[in-house]
Amino acid sequence: MRDKALVMLEERCKGDQCQLCVEFCPKHVLCLTEKYNRKGYHPVTACDIDACTSCGFCELICPDMAIFLVDRDEAEEAVKTGMVEEGTVVPELEIDAAKEGGTD
């Protein structure tokens, strides 16, 4: 399990008008969703989060601070306490939650 979690802020993302992170992620982790955000763009998501090496390149290249890495513990705490802005996506935690749900 990685120490860092990838966070995406869907409402800040210019998605199909930008795609810088999609294009430049060296591991081809990222892709666009089919849904629209409030700005009318298809925001980015992780299509292959397992391939992410936490290199941080997407964070560096994003002009809108819509994608970044945080400590996994911090992300867990923020999600648990609801201290995240609308449209926050943390694929690694969503996978964890799905697994937990599946063990019932």
User: Is the Cβ of residue 62 or residue 75 nearer to ligand SF4 in the bound state?
Assistant: 62
Q: Is 93 in the site for ligand SF4 (CB under 6 A)?
A: no
Size of the site for ligand SF4 (CB under 6 A): 25
- Whichever of 21 and 93 has its CB closer to ligand SF4, that residue is 21
Decide: is 2 part of the binding site for ligand SF4 (CB under 6 A): no
Comparing C-alpha atoms, which of 41, 36, 49, 37 is closest to residue 7?
A: 49
Question: From the list 5, 7, 52, 75, which residue makes contact with ligand SF4 (rule: CB under 6 A)?
Answer: 52
Q: Is 89 in the site for ligand SF4 (CB under 6 A)?
A: no
- Check residue 31 for interaction with ligand SF4 (CB under 6 A): no
Position 5 contacts ligand SF4 (CB under 6 A): no
